[in-house]
Every structure is written in structure tokens, then in C-alpha cells.
Amino acid sequence: MYQIKVIRNFSGAHFLREYKGKCESLHGHNWKVEVIAESLELDSLGMVLDFGDLKKMIDQVLDELDHKLLNDLESFKECNPSSENIAHYIYCRLKDELSDSPVNLDQVRVWETDSSCATYKES
């Protein structure tokens, strides 16, 4: 199995509804997003997927989140925009983008600080 990883960033604000603590208040993060894609075989150029193509796909998804109040987005109207739910959201959007490709999406990891992250992957 071959894997590639791309790291991108976005900034946004959120608050966690019904959370009893500081995160219940509006605050922001500079999130770091790691995306790992994989394939059993390499393409004719010897790649899983061109890094530039994967970056473009990720950036299109992150543009929907960047400099937004995440709670206002339709996808987070009913579920909290926690790092876990953000990772799941990004994973699902990218999975759709790669659906016609021989490349599989392995996981999405979202860092809200240098020491705290959440990962989503299908089992």
C-alpha cells in the first residue's frame, strides 16, 4: 500500500453548544488539516496522486470553512463543529471528490492546537 499526506490550514471560529467550559464561548482556531490518501498501485507516473491535485481538492473544501463562523454553516447547524465533526465533514467531502478515482481516502486529521487533534477514518 502506498500513502501520501498533504497538510493544509484554515482559520475559523466556533463555539460548542451545551459544553460546560470555555469552549462554549465563541472563539477561533488556526486549524491544521492532514489528509492521507492511499492506493495499492501507482499511476503511470509513479504516483498515488499528484500532490497538487490533492491540494486543490482539499483547498476547495477548506474554502467553505475558512474565515467562517462554523456554527452558521448548514453542516454544523445541528451538530457541534468539534474537531471530530470537522474531520468527518472534510473526510466525507473529499471521499466524494475521489469517488471516481482508484485512490482511497485513508484518514483526515484536524489539529485545533499544536497538541490537540482529532482523526476520522472509516473502519
The CATH number of residue 78's host domain is 3.30.479.10
Domain limits for position 6: 2-120
pLDDT in tens, 10-48: 999 999 999 999 999 999 999 999 999 999 999 999 999
Total domains, the chain: 1
Write down the pLDDT at residue 87. Answer: 98
Cα atoms found within 13 Å of the Cα of residue 54, Cβ hemisphere only: 24
Tell me if residue 41 falls in helix, strand or coil. Answer: coil
Cα–Cα dist 36/107, whole Å: 5
Cα–Cα dist 75/85, whole Å: 9
In sequence order, the 6+-apart residues with CB closer than 8 A to the CB of 109 are: 33, 34, 36, 87, 117, 118, 119
Active site (annotated) includes residue 79? no
Marked catalytic residue, from 27, 67, 79, 122: 67
Active site (annotated) includes residue 112? yes
Marked catalytic residue, from 14, 29, 88, 112: 112
